[in-house]
Structure 1
Amino acid sequence: MKNVNDFERVSLGFFPTPLESLPGLSNELGIALQIKRDDYTGFGGGGNKVRKLEYLMAEACRNGVNVVITTGGHQSNHARMVAAAARKFNMRPVLVLRGNPPASYQGNLLLDRLFGAELEFLDPDDYFTLIDGAMQAHADRAQARGEKPMIIPLGGATPLGALGYVRAVEEMDAQRKALGLPDPDVLVAPTGSGGTLAGLYVGARRYWPNTRIVGISVSAKAPWFQERISRMAQECADLLQWPQRWQPEAIWIEDDYVGQAYGIPSEGGIEAIYRAAQAEGVLLDPVYTGKAMHGLISLVEKQQIAPDSSVIFIHCGGSPALYPFASQILEH
């Protein structure tokens, strides 16, 4: 069997990120709540995708890539960090984004421009039928110019990228042991493309076999994620030669907290942003972590997460996305 250190990766983030107790929210909710501060990974504005990109960019460097192509929504943290990582390794970033051309460039879109990414915008209604062809067209044009392109899928959600969150579980396990704490009862994380959840499932099966993992969907319905994450987790475990298996129904996904649609703030998500800010001084965002915290709070209130449980919330970053939605947040 292998471990995550057997795979080549580049150094991008600042690890280990803190595992911080949240006493205010813990007292309000009646649980022992910690937050894994992957908003502090640092590189390119920080966030969970740094862990995945350490492995994916190592592959790009090894293969002599000089054009990196990826996709996401207008306020995609992943797209922003791919652009930053491409520049760090002297590659040209191309971002094909879901949404119409914006009236102004704020939040992650501003950072995409600062990193000098080439941007293409796809009509949101036709995005899923157009995206594969659009990214491949950029790759074909790069090849025709004599360049070496690489397409990184939505969210960096690949078995190789998921190794980053196997490492994160190892990291949290060491941190809790240093504090004399047992394995947590529950891990909660937002899920938008599935790669983070897949890595958490693989890592937890090995280190915390009795810990339950819940993904709060910010985009798709539960069955899509269950199929996708179980398959990706299996392929990640196969890379490690770990004898682990999952059925789709074993993947716990809550899909009641998306709101109107992906990338559109929800009322419950905005409430959770205010609550975390005023109880703990922690900044969440309206696209990912605000909705995930809304889900966590609701599951505790419905006692689907039992009273007195020890819970870790995975903070995936994303605070740049606060600013484009300032008027909606303040109106709330």
Structure 2
Amino acid sequence: MKLEDIPRLSLGFLPTPIEKMERLSAELGISLSMKRDDFTGFGGGGNKVRKLEFLMADAVAQGVKVLITTGGHQSNHARMTAAAARKFGMKPILVLRGNRPASYQGNLLLDHLFGAEIDFLDPDAYFEQINPRMEHHAAQAEARGEKAYIIPLGGASALGAMGYVNAAKELSEQYAARATPAPDYIVAPVGSGGTLAGLHIGCAQYLPNTKVIGVAVTGSAVPFSERIAKMANDGAALLGFEKTFTPDDIRIETDYIGPGYSIPSEAGNAAIKLAGDREGVLLDPVYTGKAVSGIIGCVQNGTIPKGSSVLFVHCGGSPALFPFADLLTADREA
């Protein structure tokens, strides 16, 4: 099956621009650009819109009435899934890792404005309870006679990965239109892995000389390289693309997670301030700040050579800045 034959609903404001980061490039000694997928627009923007274009087409075709997904307190995916549910007349249910907060800030505020039902899970029990809890909500919906649809964490599935196969195709067309070579490296944050799986499939098809690097922003019970290779193989099979990915093909940088998922890191916070100061670009402490700190670290240790051309996939997430305002302004008086 060709990519164009897979049902897809238009949600994002595509194609998103490629922006050259002139001052950061000079400072780091590389040619750094950003694919501005924070500008996808729908539901506050971000990379998950691309996945939802394919996942929502499947849900709408099945007559779904209740859309269920999961994530952390500041999940961009949960926020955009709630928005997509409302756009197509569905009820969103979000099962989120973390206790009920005293106040709703950032993405949680937006979840509330989209009218999502939010089920908070104790973070220590989350990984044991998440699938049974989502199945419970689905069973309740079905008992009411409402078709339910569960989207996995981050929209990470073979179908969801098609969003970033399509993004790689979009990039190849943009570089061709500019008559400029594709980048040496594409770097993206890795949480659930669907974006990176799609980029691997898409680059193998459309940007064969570009290497893909993922910067982990969380840990994983199953090594990312194994999980992403399997997802990429499932996605390639969906497309009838005769390509096999092994864990050795999947490059993941794991030194930039910091204390844990959704917990800001010192290096990530420094990257947020650097991007804001040098380029007027907003990064966030959950995903993009840590990923850009990974680019900086890889240049400093030589794993990304000086003089390389690097494209960073800006996955959005600026709403997650606001719950951490006190932390990010701790140096204000100084």
Short-chain TM bin: over 0.9
Deviation, 1:178, is 1.6
Shift of the 77–213 alpha-carbon distance from structure 1 to 2, 3 Å rule, reads same
- Residue in structure 2 matched with residue 105 of structure 1 by the alignment: 104
CA distance in 2, matches of 1:225, 1:245: 16
CA distance in 2, matches of 1:51, 1:330: 33
CA distance in 1, matches of 2:222, 2:144: 41
CA distance in 2, matches of 1:163, 1:227: 19
Deviation, 1:206, is 1.1
CA distance in 2, matches of 1:243, 1:182: 25
Tell me the TM-score normalized by structure 1: 0.98
In 2, are the aligned partners of 1:222 and 1:254 still within 8 Å (CA)? Answer: no
Unaligned runs of 5+ in 1: none
- Aligned to 1:269, the other structure's residue is in SS state helix
Deviation, 1:208, is 1.7
| Amino acid aligned to 1:256 | D
- Residue in structure 1 matched with residue 162 of structure 2 by the alignment: 163
Tell me the TM-score normalized by structure 2: 0.98
- Residue in structure 1 matched with residue 224 of structure 2 by the alignment: 225
Equivalenced residue count is: 331
- Aligned to 1:95, the other structure's residue is in SS state strand
- Residue in structure 2 matched with residue 300 of structure 1 by the alignment: 299
CA distance in 1, matches of 2:232, 2:328: 36
Deviation, 1:179, is 1.6
Deviation, 1:3, is 2.7
- Identity fraction in percent: 60
Deviations 1:115-163 (CA, angstroms, capped at 9, x unpaired): 0000000000110000000000000000111110000000000100100
In 2, are the aligned partners of 1:75 and 1:107 still within 8 Å (CA)? Answer: yes
- Residue in structure 2 matched with residue 243 of structure 1 by the alignment: 242
Deviation, 1:221, is 4.8
- Aligned to 1:331, the other structure's residue is in SS state coil
- Residue in structure 2 matched with residue 186 of structure 1 by the alignment: 185
Asked if 1:4 is matched to 2:3, the reply is: yes
- Aligned to 1:94, the other structure's residue is in SS state strand
CA distance in 2, matches of 1:7, 1:206: 16
Asked if 1:204 is matched to 2:203, the reply is: yes
Alignment root-mean-square deviation, CA: 1.0
Q: Runs of 4+ in structure 1 displaced over 2 angstroms?
A: none
CA distance in 2, matches of 1:166, 1:233: 10
Deviation, 1:183, is 2.0
CA distance in 1, matches of 2:238, 2:124: 36
- Aligned to 2:329, the other structure's residue is in SS state helix
| Amino acid aligned to 1:88 | K
Shift of the 247–222 alpha-carbon distance from structure 1 to 2, 3 Å rule, reads farther
In 2, are the aligned partners of 1:222 and 1:255 still within 8 Å (CA)? Answer: no
